[in-house]
Amino acid sequence: MNTHVIELIVNGDLREVAVRPNLTLLQLLRDHLRLTGTKHGCGTGDCGACTVLLDGRPVNSCLTLAVEARNRTITTIEGISTSGTTLHPVQQAFVEKGAVQCGYCTPGMIMSSVHLLRTNPDPTESEIRHAIGGNICRCTGYTKIIEAIETAARAKKGSGQ
């Protein structure tokens, strides 16, 4: 197997790593870069727990090879709050609305929601359901998650962000 030395930007930091071709982006983030906020659920693209933004697009990091991230920009749950001390509006809304129970789906759910609100700042409930269709939650029944995303959308609109 040919090892590749790649550069990529993770949460704003330039990283240089040596990766084997069969290493997934999820494994690189969790096991090598110690960014364990991104979760491993199914490993087969079904649950969305591993969702990260790759050049701003939501992808399943379990279905992405680390080597595919060469010269690309990755944002994980650890990187969405710009200040590092305050929560991102979507995180804040999840806390306020009680949209987190066991929390395992939450990082992926929040990454999908962040992408939704960037591309569609005022989504309908059906658009929200569609956007999180690739994220499975076994605890909440989704109602609180949808309320949280609606709340985050309103907060964003109110703050003019």
Partner 1 sequence: MSLPEFNFHSPSHTDELFRLLQEFGPSARVMSGGTDLLIALDGGRVHYKHLISLKEIAVLNGLDYDSSTGLTISANTVLADVAAFAPALEHYACLVDSIEELATVQVRHKASVVGNICNASPAADTATPLMALGARAVIIGPGLKREISVEELITGPGKTCLAEYEIVQRIIVPPPGEHQRSLFLKHSPRSRVDIAATSACISLCIQDGVFAEVSIFLGSVAPRPMRAKQAEAVLKGKQPDPDLLQRAAATAGEECSPISDLRASEEHKRHMVGVLIFRGLEQLAVQT
Q: Of 9 and 139, which has the nearer Cβ to ligand FES?
A: 139
- In angstroms, rounded to a whole number, what is the distance separating the alpha carbons of residues 64 and 73? 13
Concatenated DSSP letters of 37-83: TS--S-SSSSS-TTEEEETTEEEEGGGSBGGGGTT-EEE-GGGS-SS
Q: Does the protein bind partner 1 through residue 24 (CB under 8 A)?
A: yes
Binder to ligand FES among 11, 27, 60, 113 (CB under 6 A)? 60
Binder to partner 1 among 28, 33, 131, 152 (CB under 8 A)? 131
Residue 65 interacting partner from ligand FES, partner 1, none (CB closer than 5 to 8 Å by kind) = partner 1
Q: How far is CA 105 from the centre of its chain?
A: 10
Q: Does the protein bind ligand FES through residue 31 (CB under 6 A)?
A: no
Binder to partner 1 among 64, 75, 91, 106 (CB under 8 A)? 64
Q: How far is the CB of 148 from partner 1 (least distance, A)?
A: 18
Q: Does the protein bind partner 1 through residue 58 (CB under 8 A)?
A: yes
Question: Residues 6 or more apart from 45 whose CB is under 8 A from it?
Answer: 60, 62, 63
Binder to ligand FES among 132, 137, 146, 148 (CB under 6 A)? 137
- In angstroms, rounded to a whole number, what is the distance separating the alpha carbons of residues 97 and 81? 18
Q: Of 12 and 103, which has the nearer Cβ to ligand FES?
A: 103
Residue 24 interacting partner from partner 1, ligand FES, none (CB closer than 5 to 8 Å by kind) = partner 1
Binder to ligand FES among 12, 21, 45, 121 (CB under 6 A)? 45
Q: Which residue has the tokens 């939450």?
A: 106
Nearest residue to 54 via CA among 105, 135, 111, 123: 111
Backbone φ/ψ region at 7: left (φ over 0), alpha (ψ -120 to 50), beta: beta
Q: Does the protein bind ligand FES through residue 95 (CB under 6 A)?
A: no
